Copies of this chain bind each other. A is one copy, B any other.
């Protein structure tokens, strides 16, 4: 059983995978992404993944057979396991609990290679495929929130070697955790403090200032805006923000799903064309499960605003970034926005 352990000084939880994949000897050779000869995510290989949790199957095909458009399966090497109790406990001055959670893989499309022999990705999708994927995120988030052990559900994607991807068939992931992760808690606290001071949502204020200035907007439609954030951590970092104030991704409407899909296609086409198909991560930040709780995030409905963070992985993080949480970004967000805005796709 994996363990969740809490840093006694700064309160950061980490997952220690005691059924580890990596023993010391595994590090004696550099770890590289496998260019897999066999793809467990391709149609026809449904029996090579754990049994599916959910799939969009427009025909009447049976689970774990071909005929799906999006397919969700448990991660074969999960960081956290679904079975068991949390058993929060101490060990001297340290805090720990069992590594309970969910770790799912969203196989985004049956297609793996595009016409040029490259890997398919968001840039190649039809609007319908992208809407399907967003709908799948929503369905899984709503379902996992029913499990009272989980406090947070994070949807994310690692694309390309530099972003930590290990399989090239297009997929995203989802992890449900029994604690609100540190980085999310910081956002929640920051939003709450701002609300206490201003009685306004800080994210809504950012949207207003960005629209007024116009300098960091990459794209906008009826429901969403994409900006290069004022204090971007790394070159071409982007945020997709819904114009309608809402703390929760999972109450997104059908019309909004279509408009989010549209804007994601635009953004990933631009990133791919302008930056030569870069590795990237994206993370969907939404409100935690089961709020408000007494004393915690009482005003979350008003102060928090869900969004997607996109981080192209163009520069490596060194000791300065690790040691300080203080990033050096060699590309001003104003230039990143201007460059991406002006690209024809």
Contacts and interface: CB of A to CB of B under 8 A. Distances in A.
Interface stretch (A6-14, A245-253, A261-269, A293-301): A6-14
B156 A323 contact: yes
Contacts of A330: 17, 20-22
A161 B162 CA distance: 12
Nearest to A177: B326
Interface stretch (A48-56, A58-66, A120-128, A332-340): A332-340
A164 B275 contact: no
Contacts of A157: 319
Residue from the set A28, A163, A206, A331 with the largest chain B CB neighbour count within 10 Å:
A331
A319 B14 contact: no
Contact of A29 (B6, B14, B276, B335): B276
A332 B20 contact: yes
A13 B331 contact: no
Nearest to A161: B316
A254 interface: no
Given A7-B229, A165-B318, A327 B24 contact: no
A80 to B, nearest CB: 9
A20 B331 contact: yes
Contacts of A10: 183, 186-187, 189-190
Contacts of A230: 5, 7-8, 91, 94
Contact of A22 (B5, B177, B331): B331
Interface residues on A, range: 35 or more
Nearest to A280: B319
Contacts of A158: 318-320
A331 B164 contact: no
A328 interface: yes
A14 B282 contact: no
Given A8-B206, A22-B331, A183 B324 contact: yes
A31 B187 CA distance: 32
B11 A315 contact: no
Contact of A163 (B318, B324, B333): B318
Interface stretch (A38-46, A106-114, A133-141, A231-239): A231-239
25 contacts: A8-B190, A10-B187, A10-B189, A14-B326, A16-B231, A17-B331, A22-B315, A24-B236, A27-B314, A28-B275, A31-B315, A92-B212, A94-B230, A156-B320, A163-B318, A173-B320, A177-B324, A183-B323, A183-B326, A184-B324, A281-B322, A281-B323, A282-B319, A283-B324, A285-B323
